[in-house]
Structure formats: C-alpha cells, structure tokens
Amino acid sequence: MFKGIYVAIITPFKNGRIDEEGLRKNLKFLIQSGVAGIVPCGTTGETPTLSTDEWLRVIKITVEEVKGKAQVIAGAGTNSTEKTIRNLEKLADLGIDAALIVTPYYNKPTQEGLIQHYLELGKVGVPIVAYNVPGRTGCNLLPETIQRIAAKSEALVAVKEAGGNLDAVSRLITLVGDRIDILSGDDSLTLPMLAVGAKGVISVVANIFPAELVQMIDCFFKGEIETAREIHLRLFPLTKLLFIETNPIPIKKAMELIGMAAGKPRLPLVEMSEANTRLLEEELKRLGRL
C-alpha cells in the first residue's frame, strides 16, 4: 500500500503567513518528479507552530494539487488522544490516504499507554501511519508494541521508523512486515532499511532531490543495487548537512538557496547559522544545484 519516496514537505512562509502560491509550486515540482506520496504537516512542516486553520489549509492545498497523482499522508498527531481524534475527524472526508500519527511527546506514555492511544485513534476509521521518533518525543514505540497494535487494529497500515536502530527495524520487519509497511524516517538509513525489508522512506532530502531518490528506490527494487548504492553515497553528505541543525532549518535554507519557496522558520526555530550555510552552499555546488 505504501511503497517508494514520500516527501515530508516544508511549509513555506512569506511575511509571516503561509505562502500558498509557493506551496503549490513546490508540490508541482515534487509530483512531476514521480514521488509516491506527499506528507504535509509533519515535523518538517513546522506543524507545532501552525494554527488549526493553517494546518487544515496546508493539507487541503496538498490534496488539491496532488489530484490522485500521488498518495497523501497528512500529519495529525498530538500528545493528547482526544485532540488527535478531533484532528482525524477533520481529515476523514478530505481524500487523504492516511494520517501520520507521532507518538505522544512530553507526557511519555508507557508502552501500554501507546497501545491504547493508537487503538482509540483507529476507531475513527482513518488509516494510520504510526511515527516513531524517540529523539524528539522522549518515548520509543517498540516493535513488540507495534505488533500488539497491528493485531488489534486494521487502521494501522504503516510505520515511519526514525529510531535510528537497524536491529529494531529488523525485529519490526520480522514481527509485522507481512501485515503493515515499514518506511524509513531517516534519509541516511533508507538504503540499509530497504535491505532488511522496508518499503520506502518519508524523506526530507526529497524536497530538493526527488527524482534522484525515486531512481534510488526504483533501482533497489529492480535489483540494480550498485546504482542505488551510488545514489545513496552521492547524496549522503548532503543528508547529514540537512540535519546539522534542527530540522527543518537546513532544508528551508537549502530550498531558499536554490530558488524554491521556503521563507524563514517560525520561532522558536531560527535561520541557519552563517558558518553552516556556507557548508550547505558548498555541498549544493558539488551536487550541481548552485
């Protein structure tokens, strides 16, 4: 159901407001590049700083522009089960393919709490992609916990795994890989995760190199492993630079540098430092984008 390159898009701003024209241009570029899907309003989209109206508007624009040419996985998770349910209810009739639901952050639920959280969300009827990113949330959605959720809820259709632990990914594939799709949440680990059974990636790098990453995934599944490896290694330095400061600070700067709609991050995030910007410029020049 979910396979290939999914782009965790930024939310471009202009004069403090959503740059709707810029957002549509960015989406057209990605769709023309052949990506499998678009993921609006995730971490990369600065969702914590969006109002409810802005959040819904970004998702509606994404669905309008995609027009069935790619899948849409809309970010909708909060650290409140009730609030997340209300978000899912707002999305139910918008034509999305699934909702990306991050594990509750700050309140640090137990594994049993995570199970009950996702089971309650599953009752809404919107397909769910669980998002495990312990470095941001402070809790880790364990493979065995995902197995228990998947056994009780057909709503769980995929997992975005960004724990950075390949052993955990292998365990996850072993437990549930035949029932739900596993997507990498770390660009630098996409190829290794594909090797153990993941189906694709929700990518930050794909905001600016979508066609190359589409080719990498296609080559891997066609058995052209050497070509896939070459693409992975060519983009690897950029991948690391795009996380040298808090995401999405670097990707917004990279998009600005190459002339795409981006705008400044909203506080409490700030623009990329001058020293790191120079490193990013040098790498973009090496890759032929500047």
Which residues are identified as catalytic?
Answer: 131, 160
Query: How far from chain centre, in Å, is Cα 148?
Result: 24
Enumerate residues 6+ apart whose C-beta is below 8 A from 89: 124
Angle, nearest 10°, between helix axes 274-286 and 249-257?
60
Q: Which of 184, 127, 183 is CA-nearest to residue 150?
A: 127
b/e 135-155 (16+ beta carbons within 10 angstroms → b): eebebbbbbebbbbbbeebeb
Q: What's the CA gap between 8 and 201, in Å, rounded?
A: 9
Q: What's the CA gap between 162 and 27, in Å, rounded?
A: 24
- Half-sphere exposure for 254 (CA within 13 Å, toward CB): 29
> Which tokens in the block code for residue 31?
């769709």
State the binding site.
44, 202
b/e 273-282 (16+ beta carbons within 10 angstroms → b): eeeebeebee
State the binding site for pyruvate.
44, 202
Q: Which of 218, 252, 214, 216 is CA-nearest to residue 233?
A: 216
Cis peptide bond upstream of 268, omega within 30: yes
Query: Which backbone phi and psi does 116 adopt, to 5 degrees?
Result: -65, -35
